[in-house]
């Protein structure tokens, strides 16, 4: 209640290591290759390395991540998803039964408890969720489709962790598992979840492609990847310029050069995989005996699908594809903070009027647009020039920057507003600022 608390930049835990002049700032671990998103996230105080492939996510990154998860929850619940939480410690027995304990090899983090029982740290949860559904006796076809998902930390013993959050050993993933009463119904679920992934990536404004993919160690009979084309991508994709065909090179038997639909020459590009969907059939349900009672009153195996979105990878990949070499650009919807307010420099001619006017606009925005109340930062480092603080704000990627510059002394006072994602500067009165910010969405 009362006036919104002002978030002061000087009090945020975001240790900046922005380069000064030509100097490079905080870099990756020695010998580790770096890419744009990794460099920008280290310099911008978004992540801090602790050991190869493991990072502390600092408060702004957690804010972006929580917003992304909110948008994901909306999309998953729109297709009937129910959220649960499965343990990270997974019993070796389940993994041995599916054959993946040996198949996954050194990628699995394995451990033994004090009673000599073996476990792995879950990189994915097909075995656990199928065992959960199999344990429900008396499951009826009327309870299907069942679409269960979670957002949890996953672990993978990457041989060469690199590129920051793009390939790390501990990461966040949204994974969904679907159970249906027939192959036809399971394929419908598959299409609906693929559509939800397309909807999510479109809302984020990311230039993605959905490509035919290999099923790998997860298995199944049909699979697609959601890829963001990027130079640092580790997947090779072939695309039809007309959009009729898109595949991961892994899926092609021989070197295919023309589109099977229109005959156009296929182009090759690299991509960062941010999502993957699999139609599994009964691969896991047959092992765990996940059965339900059919309409004919007979036990039938559930038809399954599994679907994953890399949460921390989407954060890094969006920065990779949207940013410039020295300035972070976030998908507007999930920027940690939407607004940065920059008051005049201490001792300047505008200081006396400007500080009070800017604080008033800050408070008016919070009152008129309550959804933005916690999404504004006030850059109180008034010992620095406006120019220096604006440069930092551009590098950190706030979608909107509101400045009390020279025009704030005019009648009526005019503020300088930078709309970073549109790349434009506007000069607006207090009412104009509020009107502009009405269109800003936060999850």
Structural domains of the chain sorted by starting position, each given as residue range(s) with its CATH number in brackets:
9-13+337-437 (3.40.50.800), 36-322 (3.30.930.10)
- Spell out the residues 6+ positions from residue 263 whose beta carbon is closer than 8 angstroms to its own: none
pLDDT at 3: 57
pLDDT at 13: 95
pLDDT in tens, 99-152: 999 999 999 999 999 999 999 999 999 999 999 999 998 899 999 999 999 999
pLDDT above 90 (res 317): yes
**DSSP assignment, residue 380?**
-
Instruction: Determine the average pLDDT of the residues in 263-274.
Output: 93
Stated pTM of the model = 0.93
**DSSP assignment, residue 411?**
S
Evaluate whether 52 touches 26 at the Cβ level (below 8 Å).
Answer: no
pLDDT at 330: 97
Distance CA 269, CA 429 (A): 46
Neighbours of 182 (CB within 10 A): 14
Distance CA 300, CA 298 (A): 6
């Amino acid at each position: 209640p009362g006036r919104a608390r002002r978030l002061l930049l000087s009090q945020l835990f975001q240790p900046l290591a922005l380069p000064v002049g030509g100097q490079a700032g905080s870099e990756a671990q020695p010998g580790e290759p770096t890419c744009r998103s990794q460099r920008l996230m280290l310099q911008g105080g978004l992540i801090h390395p602790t050991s190869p492939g493991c990072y502390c996510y600092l408060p702004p990154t957690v804010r972006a991540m929580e917003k992304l998860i909110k948008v994901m929850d909306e999309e998953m619940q729109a297709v009937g998803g129910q959220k649960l939480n499965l343990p990270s410690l997974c019993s070796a027995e389940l993994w041995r039964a599916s054959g993946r304990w040996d198949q996954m090899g050194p990628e699995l983090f394995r451990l033994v408890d004090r009673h000599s029982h073996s476990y792995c740290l879950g990189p994915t949860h097909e075995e656990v969720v199928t065992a959960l559904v199999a344990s429900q006796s008396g499951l009826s076809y009327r309870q299907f489709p069942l679409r269960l998902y979670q957002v949890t930390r996953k672990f993978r013993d990457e041989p060469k962790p690199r590129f920051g959050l793009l390939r790390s050993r501990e990461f966040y993933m949204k994974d969904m598992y679907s159970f249906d009463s027939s192959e036809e119904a399971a394929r419908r679920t598959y299409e609906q979840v693929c559509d939800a992934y397309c909807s999510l990536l479109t809302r984020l404004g990311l230039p993605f492609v959905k490509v035919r993919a290999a099923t790998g160690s997860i298995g199944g009979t049909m699979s697609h990847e959601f890829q963001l084309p990027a130079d640092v991508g580790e997947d090779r994709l072939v695309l039809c310029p007309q959009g009729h065909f898109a595949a991961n090179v892994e899926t092609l038997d021989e070197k295919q050069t023309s589109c099977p639909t229109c005959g156009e020459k296929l182009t090759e590009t690299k991509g960062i995989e941010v999502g993957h969907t699999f139609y599994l059939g009964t691969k896991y349900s047959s092992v765990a005996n996940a059965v339900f009672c059919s309409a004919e009153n007979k036990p039938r195996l559930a038809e399954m699908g599994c679907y994953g979105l890399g949460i921390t990878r989407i954060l890094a990949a969006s920065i990779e594809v949207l940013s410039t070499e020295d300035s972070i650009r976030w998908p507007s919807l999930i920027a940690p903070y939407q607004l940065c307010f920059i008051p005049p420099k201490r001792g300047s001619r505008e200081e006396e009027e400007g500080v009070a006017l800017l604080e008033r606009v800050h408070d008016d925005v919070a009152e008129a647009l309550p959804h933005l109340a916690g999404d504004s930062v006030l850059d109180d480092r008034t010992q620095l020039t406006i120019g220096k603080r604006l440069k930092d704000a551009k590098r950190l990627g706030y979608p909107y920057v509101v400045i009390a510059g020279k025009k704030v002394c005019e009648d009526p006072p005019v503020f300088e507003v930078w709309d970073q994602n549109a790349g434009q500067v506007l000069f607006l009165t207090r009412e104009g600022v509020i009107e502009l910010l009405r269109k800003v969405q936060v999850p």
